[in-house]
Copies of this chain bind each other. A is one copy, B any other.
Amino acid sequence: MKVTPWEVSGDIDYEKLIKEFGTEKITDKLLSRIKKHTGELHPYLRRKIVFSHRDLNWVLDEYEKGNKFFLYTGRSPSGPVHIGHLTTWMFTKWLQDKFDVDLWFQFPDEEKFLFKEKLTFEDTANYLKENMLDVIALGFNPKKTKFLIDTKHAGLMYKEACRIAKKITFSTVKAAFGFDNSYNIGQIFYTAMQAVPAILPSAMAGKNIPCLIPYAIDQDPHFRVARDALPKIGYYKPAAIHSVFLPPLTGPGGKMSSSEANAAVCTTDSPEEVRRKVMKYAFSGGRETVEEHRKKGGNPDVDVSYQWLTFFEENDTKLKKIYEDYKSGKMLTGELKQILVDKLNIFLANHQKEREKAVKKVDKYVLKL
C-alpha cells in the first residue's frame, strides 16, 4: 500500500491509514452530533465512505458557539474529471448546504505542472477550463463559493504562502513527501500554496475563522504540514474530513486515475462508453460460470460495480437488496453491471446537461481580483 498526494497503489487498508496518519475515526457518536445539525446523514457518512477526520468536534464546538467554519477543497487541473473526483465534491456540497457555509475551491494549476515533466501550462489551462465546469455543474451556491486559481490569484496568495513557507523547512517536506535533493524548487515550495486557502478567508477578514477541509485521504501529508505551520503564524489548525477512494474500475486496489482510460469513467463519457467500460473492465466478484454463481453466489465486497453503487445509489434499501441478491447468486454479474450502467448514465446525463449550462456561469465563481 502506498498513499501519497502523487501516488496511490496497492490494497488500501483504511484502518491502517488512520493509525499511520494519526487521524481519528468518525464514530457513531460524532455522526449523531452531525445529524443534530443536518437533520439527516449523507449516505457517505452512513456508509463510512467518509470515515476519518481531524478536529471535527472542535469545528462543531465553534459552530455551536455561532462561529461558523468555511469549507476548503480543490482540484489540480491535470486531466479530465472522473466520477471519483465528483464524489468528494458532492459530499462537500452537502456540507455547504446543510451548514450554510462558504466554500473556497482551489485550482492549484501549477501543482501537476511542477510534478509532471511533460505537462505544460497550456495543458493545465485547458483542463482548468474543463474542470471548472464539472465543479459548477454540481450546483454549488455561487454566492457562497469562490474559485481560487493559483497562477491567477497569486497576487493574493503568494504573500500568504511566504508567511507559511517561512515556517516549513526542507527537512519537513522531505519527511512528509519523501522528497530528495533532485526535486525541483517549485515542488518543494508548493505545499505552502496548498495551505493558503485554509487561511486566506481569515487573512482577508482580519479574524480567525475555522476551516474544514473535505478531501480524499491521499492529500493528508499536505495538511499535516499545514496544521503544524499555521498556528505558528497565528491561525487555527484546519480541521479535516476524509473519504475513501472510489476504486478504479479494473480492480479493488489503488485510486481511480483519468490517465488510465479503461479504469475510470469520466464526466464527459457517452452512455455507450460508460456501458463499454463497465461491461468490459469492471472488476467482478462473480463466479466463473453462471451455474457456479447461481449455486455459490458472488462477492459484492470485492465487486467494483457494487462498490461504485455504494457511492451512487442513495437508497439504502435498494442497495441492501442488490448486495443480498448478488451474494446469494440470485443476481448475475451482468445484471449488477447493468444496474450500475443505468445509474451512472442517468447521473451523467444530468451532469452533462448542467455542465453545458456551467459555461456561462464561470465568472460567478472565480474570485474577483
Contact = CB atoms under 8 A, between A and B. Distances in A.
A162 B114 contact: yes
Contact of A167 (B155, B171, B184): B184
B162 A158 contact: no
A121 B181 CA distance: 29
B168 A174 contact: no
Contacts of A187: 165
A110 interface: yes
Contacts of A191: 185
A183 B172 CA distance: 10
A155 B170 CA distance: 25
A369 B155 contact: yes
A206 to B, nearest CB: 14
A169 interface: yes
Contacts of A154: 154-155, 157-159
A186 to B, nearest CB: 3
A181 B152 contact: no
Interface residues of A, number: 41
Q: How many copies are assembled?
A: 2
Contacts of A162: 110, 113-114, 121, 151, 186
A186 B181 contact: no
A165 B185 contact: yes
Nearest to A121: B159
A162 B157 CA distance: 14
A192 B181 contact: no
* Main SS class of interface, A: helix
Nearest to A171: B181
A355 to B, nearest CB: 27
Contact of A186 (B114, B165, B183): B165
Contacts of A156: 155
A188 interface: yes
A169 B188 CA distance: 9
Nearest to A193: B158
25 contacts: A110-B158, A110-B159, A114-B165, A151-B155, A151-B158, A152-B155, A154-B159, A155-B156, A155-B369, A158-B158, A161-B186, A165-B187, A166-B184, A166-B186, A168-B184, A169-B182, A170-B170, A170-B188, A171-B181, A171-B182, A172-B185, A185-B188, A185-B189, A186-B189, A189-B189
Interface of A: 110, 113-114, 121, 150-159, 161-163, 165-174, 179-189, 191-192, 369
Given A110-B159, A161-B186, 20 more contacts: A110-B158, A110-B162, A114-B162, A121-B159, A151-B155, A151-B159, A155-B369, A157-B158, A158-B158, A162-B186, A165-B185, A165-B186, A165-B189, A166-B186, A169-B182, A169-B183, A170-B182, A170-B188, A185-B188, A188-B188
